[in-house]
Structure formats: C-alpha cells, structure tokens
Amino acid sequence: MARTWLSIRVDLVSGRGERFWPRPRRVFAASRSHRFSRLAEAIDTAFARWDRSHLHKFELADGRIIGQPEFDDFDVEFLDADQTTLSTLSLGEQFVYEFDFGDG
C-alpha cells in the first residue's frame, strides 16, 4: 500500500511579545499516521526550541483543539495530541500551533 505524505508549512508569526516580518518558515513532510505530539516536537526542533518543557496545542480551522491534558486553560473539550494523528487534517486546512512558555 502506498504511503501518503503531507507537506506542512509552518510560519513563525510571533514570539516573546514580538511579531516577525519576514516570518521564519519551515516545511515538514509527515505521514498521515504521525501524531500531533510528534509534529509539535518537530516544530520545536526546526525552530531551535531547546527547553521542550512547555505545553502545546493546535487549533484547527473548525475550532477543534488538539493538545495535552496538562494544559489547564482549555475551556473546551480537546483531543489528546499523543493519540490524534495527522489524518485528522483536510487537504489545504490551516491551523494554529501555540505553546506556553510557563512563568519563567
């Protein structure tokens, strides 16, 4: 069976109170069977996030939230990033990836 690969473009829009222009960009190749938690790790690596201790969430265009159970500021139900695969995405779908720097 042929494996379907996704091409996922990630633009870094802002961070640490700054808006970036031009926006740093990375393009990822991922299988539809990869989990969102793995995509979050890849994004961290590609943008040189070294601490890996922050929490993350993805917000899809239809309002679904995919993240970590430990992210206590979710006011809505969400899907667990360790269990949800990228097959959830539709062709051309856009989403937002956010992470929490914590108090430090």
Write down the pTM of the prediction.
0.83
CATH of the domain at 69: 3.10.290.30
Over residues 44-90, the pLDDT tens digits come to 888 877 666 667 889 998 888 898 876 655 566 789 999 999 999 98
Residue 36 belongs to what domain range? 5-100
**Residue 99 has what pLDDT?**
74
In this prediction, what percent of the chain has a pLDDT beyond 70?
Answer: 82
Amino acid at 68: Q
The domain total for the chain is: 1
Residue 69 in 3-state DSSP? coil
Kindly report the number of other CB atoms within 10 A of residue 58's CB atom: 23
Contact, 46 vs 58, CB < 8 A?
A: no
- Composition of the chain by helix, strand, coil, percent to 5: 15, 35, 50
Our CA angle for 41, 47, 53, nearest 5°, is 45
